[in-house]
Structure 1
Amino acid sequence: MPPEPAQTPTPALFLDRDGVLNVDHGYVSSWDDFQWIPGAREVVAAFNRAGWRVIVVTNQSGVGRGYYTEADMHALHARMCEDLAAAGARVDAIYHAPQHPQAKVEAYRHPDPPDRKPNPGMLLRAMTDFPIDAARSLMIGDKPSDLEAARRAGVQGVLFGGGDLYAFLESRGLLPSA
């Protein structure tokens, strides 16, 4: 049997979660506390239509700090994905980094977690898991550590300061053409 042809790398939209996809109320861990950022679902759908991969990269130190469990986080992410699907959108993958230098949960304590932003581990893992063209990709974050992770991964980073995410990207000419 001949080998499968290699997939052509495509650009990816990397999104931080809290503060970019949802309002950051501090350690959001349940659907009851989740509130979409205006325009976030529309952004995901626009990048889907344009053929980009959409990947969430989120630190989630609340798991390591013992505020909620990974199961709680996965349940929230499942609800996010269901809600996105209802809006005609999807994410290709969600990467999380529960590790933290001061984690109360021993299994998550690490002095410099390679996946925790500003380290680029989550982005680099996604680039290993999917054929991604880093040079054409985009990371949207709400903290300088998000942009540093993007820089270290060879991805353009954009700092989002709040408001309507779709309008923000549109005003900067960063929405892809379908």
Structure 2
Amino acid sequence: MSLLLLDLDGTIREPLSGKQYFQHPQDQQIIAGADIAVSAYKDDWIIVGISNQGGVAAGYKSIQECIKEQQYTLELFPELREIYFCPDFEGKKCFRVTRHNAHNHSKTNWSGYYRKPGAGMLQLAMVRHKHTPENTRYVGDRPEDEAAAHRAGVLFQWAVDWLKQHQATMSS
């Protein structure tokens, strides 16, 4: 088993409303092909979501709404085991969301490094799932995703390439 870490916004999900931010927890849709790409890993990988959620700190949504949003993502992608998100701009807070619960992991050694490009969420996920950087991959769509992967020492893949790779596999 290996560990697949996935950025969420712009990598596997986007607002259904077409707006820049999710308007409510169900205002999300699967990016074309992302469900196929995710399901390709379900048998041999533990799959975990990783997301900066600055909309909380900016006042667009509450922590409770953000937790509900992540739980809805877990419904859309049943292969995802859990989601880690950082709601503050300083990178001090981190929540781990499962289908039925939310756990606060803000008081760890990685507090202050959770927000990407910091590697705190990636490192916490690796420790919790007992994986090393060598058997972990991170897929994302932004430079801060790539920087977080490099800081954590894990292989990074751009979302556009990852989606194309799996679309090519499905059509051949």
Give distance in 1, aligned partners of 2:75 and 2:167.
Answer: 28
- What does 1:104-115 correspond to in 2, within 5 Å? 113-115=112-114
Q: Which residue of 2 aligns with 1:155?
A: 154
Kindly provide the amino acid, as one letter, of the partner of residue 169 in structure 1. Q
1:16 aligns with 2:7: yes
Q: Percent identity?
A: 28
Report the count of equivalent residues: 148
Residue 32 of structure 1: CA displacement?
4.1
- Residue 72 (structure 2) aligned to one of 79, 99, 112: 79
- Structure 1, unaligned stretches of length 5 or more? 1-9, 102-107
TM-score, structure 1 length as denominator?
0.73
- What does 1:1-178 correspond to in 2, within 5 Å? 10-23=1-14, 25-28=19-22, 30-49=24-43, 51-85=44-78, 90-101=79-90, 113-161=112-160, 166=163, 168-170=164-166
Structure with higher Rg: it is 1
Give distance in 1, aligned partners of 2:122 and 2:71.
Answer: 21
Give distance in 2, aligned partners of 1:29 and 1:15.
Answer: 22
Give distance in 2, aligned partners of 1:171 and 1:79.
Answer: 25
Residue 83 of structure 1: CA displacement?
2.6
Residue 136 of structure 1: CA displacement?
2.6
- Asked whether the 8 Å contact 1:15–1:56 carries over to 2, the reply is yes
Residue 141 of structure 1: CA displacement?
0.7
Which has the higher relative contact order, 1 or 2, with Cα contacts under 8 A spaced 6 or more apart?
1
Q: What SS does structure 1 have at the residue aligned with 2:80?
A: coil
Give distance in 2, aligned partners of 1:78 and 1:47.
Answer: 20
* C-alpha RMSD of the superposition: 2.6
Runs of 4+ in 1 over 4 A off after TM superposition: none
